[in-house]
Amino acid sequence: MVRHLPNLLSALRLLAAPFAAWLIVHGHDIAALLVFAGASASDGLDGFIARRWGVTSAFGAWLDPAADKLLMLLCFGALFLIGMTPLWLVALVVARDLAIACGWLAIKLFSLPIATQPLFVGKASTLVQALYIFATLLLLAFDVSAPRLTQLAAWACGLLTVLSGCAYGGLFLRGILTGNRVA
């Protein structure tokens, strides 16, 4: 049973993503906060279980980040639709994830000698994005308006998203130009 638990948690997170976005768009703020918080917590839990009991798999290595990205992208999109997140931030998040996905696909399709391990700045960016969504949902759930805090959080999230995208782009370009395994 433990062997399948990480993939089950990732699959549940994958299913929770559109549900969380639907809850956001339809104004079910507390439910959206709870679903998002639970889905985000499952990300850490599935990784812990997989490492602790050595139950990693190639499928899980694909499913986990796919579930994370879908949760983030759908929630950012939903928050934009209700006017809580600026378009420029959604565009940065989407552009970064699309660029990373295209780079990963190119590495796999052309058997490029570039490692595809996550970077610390990438993990930090994902964490800050999750905290941004959580904080925004928290403000919505308790009907609190904090425009300066929201704007500052958006800028911090955007800055880390750009730094992360540049770091991955730099590794990809260095790998292409030098032909070395770079990460």
Q: What is the DSSP letter of 79?
A: H
- C-alpha distances out from residue 23 to 6, 31, 85, Å: 25, 7, 16
Cα–Cα distance, 95 to 100 (Å, whole number): 9
Is 28 part of any domain?
A: yes
Is 108 part of any domain?
A: yes
Is 56 part of any domain?
A: yes
Residue 180's pLDDT is 60
Helix (H, G, I), strand (E, B) or coil at 86: coil
In the chain, what percentage of residues exceed pLDDT 70?
A: 97
Domain of residue 148, CATH code: 1.20.120.1760
pLDDT in tens, 152-161: 999 999 999 9
Is 90 part of any domain?
A: yes
Helix (H, G, I), strand (E, B) or coil at 7: helix
Is 134 part of any domain?
A: yes
Poorest-pLDDT segment among 22-36, 76-90, 168-182: 168-182
- CA count, 13 A, side-chain hemisphere, 2: 9
Tally the domains of the chain.
1
Written as one string, the DSSP assignment of 94-155 is HHHHHHHHHHHHHHHHTT-S---PPPHHHHHHHHHHHHHHHHHHHHHHTT---HHHHHHHHH
Domain span at residue 49 reads 2-178
Q: For the chain, how long is the longest CA-to-CA vector? A: 53
pLDDT band for position 107 (50/70/90)?
A: confident
User: What Rg do the C-alpha atoms of the chain give, in angstroms?
Assistant: 17
Nearest to 29 by CA among 142, 146, 128: 142
Is 183 part of any domain?
A: no
Residue 183's pLDDT is 45
Q: Which residues contact 111 (CB under 8 A, 6 or more apart)?
A: none
Is 159 part of any domain?
A: yes
pLDDT in tens, 45-101: 988 888 888 888 888 888 998 999 999 999 999 999 999 999 999 999 999 999 999
Is 43 part of any domain?
A: yes
